[in-house]
Amino acid sequence: MPQRPSPIPGPLQPTCPVRAGPERRRARFRWAQDAVSAYGRAMAAPDRLATSQPFSPQAWSATTPGRGLGRRQLLRLGAIGGLGLLAGCRGQGPQLLASRGDLPAAWSARLPRPWQLKLLDDSAAVLAARAQSSMVQLGDGWATAMPRSTFGPIGTPELLARLGPEAGPVSRLFAPEGAPILAFPWSCNPWVLLLRDRPDLQRRLGEGWDLLLDASLRGKLVLPSSPRVAIALMDGDPQRLRRLRQNVLAQDDCHGLNLLLSGAAEALVLPRQRVVPLLRRDPRLSVILPEQGAPLGWSLVLKPVAASTATPATAPTLAPLEWLAAVLEPPLLPLLLASGWVPPLPRAVLKRAVASFPVAQASLLLPPAAVLARCNDLPPLSAAESAELQALWDAATPAS
């Protein structure tokens, strides 16, 4: 925030001709006092323009000619006051909340006015602050952990019609067909296996997720924080799950990549999007998306239901459809793909979009159709299903 101007130094000395009578001098002095008060009120606005500068005594003298303030000076003071009021209202526009790293910078930079982007530390913070926002960006796991009544229809049926059929269930937060569209699924990412300096395992990619059970990875494997993903990788097999957990160094979404890059780990399971930028600059790394498929994660934009006591920020606001649509076409689409974000567009559209990419990168962004067909969503669980998976996970705990 710009530094607040200091008061004009010294007593105000009206620059009136000596020959003017006392009443005329007093009238001019009152003009000067009123003008200073107006300027002070303008400068008190919380977010005044950085270009507004306090008047120096010399400049002040120039604005008080012998016949008082002219029209130009009054207009200038009025403009400053108006801009100050507008600046004070800038925080009242509709707001999009997201956690850091969950929105491509090239996309968020195009968010139209008066929309504002607010980045928080994590998705839990986004959910906690949702009542103060008009839109939120969340992963499907976070969104489906909330009651469906948390979100309202986002109003994107035309955009959804441009996506592939796989985007339909998650747009309804996995409610039956015909339920309202509550989310705009703008990116889809399968979980992949990232290896560091392990060409021997890369050559055995046909073994799929069973590579995670290799004895050479004992204490060298980092898994996602979510046990559900690990269970899905092993198809819920108790014996394989127990062997998997024996190899685990850590279950850490936040620091797993650092463990791999530092050499503490040699294998890491993570979403594809985080891998694509790394492969271009680190030759030690290789990636495997097994032919047997993988669990899928979705990036969603949703519209929280307005609070009962709506403020200007939470009042019903139409989603910026042109901004949402920008991820589906050039010039933004190639930028997103290069950063690993893949909108769920029809295969023919994506094939054209990655045609100029290096072959290895293009095949990671657009795997064979048969592999994608074997990738599965992770819809919300019932209480009984959650208890069953928790028991399976607990039973696979390695002996200490």
The reported pLDDT for the residue numbered 363 is 96
DSSP 3-state percent helix, strand, coil across the chain (nearest 5): 45, 15, 40
Tell me: the pLDDT tens digits for 144-181? 999 999 999 999 999 999 999 999 999 999 999 999 99
Q: Over range 369-383, report the average pLDDT.
A: 96
**pTM for this prediction:** 0.75
Tell me: the pLDDT tens digits for 44-75? 333 322 332 332 323 323 333 333 434 444 34
> Is the per-residue pLDDT at 337 higher than 60?
yes
> Is the per-residue pLDDT at 400 higher than 80?
no
The reported pLDDT for the residue numbered 11 is 33
Which residue ranges make up each domain of the chain? 22-88, 92-188+296-326
56 vs 35: CA distance, rounded Å: 14
- Residue 95, strand partner residues: 116
The reported pLDDT for the residue numbered 362 is 97
Q: Over range 219-237, report the average pLDDT.
A: 97
The reported pLDDT for the residue numbered 83 is 36
Query: Is domain 92-188+296-326 classified as CATH 3.40.190.10?
Result: yes
The reported pLDDT for the residue numbered 215 is 97
Tell me: the pLDDT tens digits for 184-205? 999 999 999 999 999 999 999 9
Q: What is the DSSP string of 214-262?
A: -GGGTT-EEE-S-HHHHHHHTTT-HHHHHHHHHTEEEE-TTTHHHHHHH
Of the pLDDT bands very low, low, confident and very high (cuts 50, 70, 90), residue 399 is confident
What angle separates helix 22-43 from helix 71-88, to the nearest 10 degrees?
20
129 vs 149: CA distance, rounded Å: 16
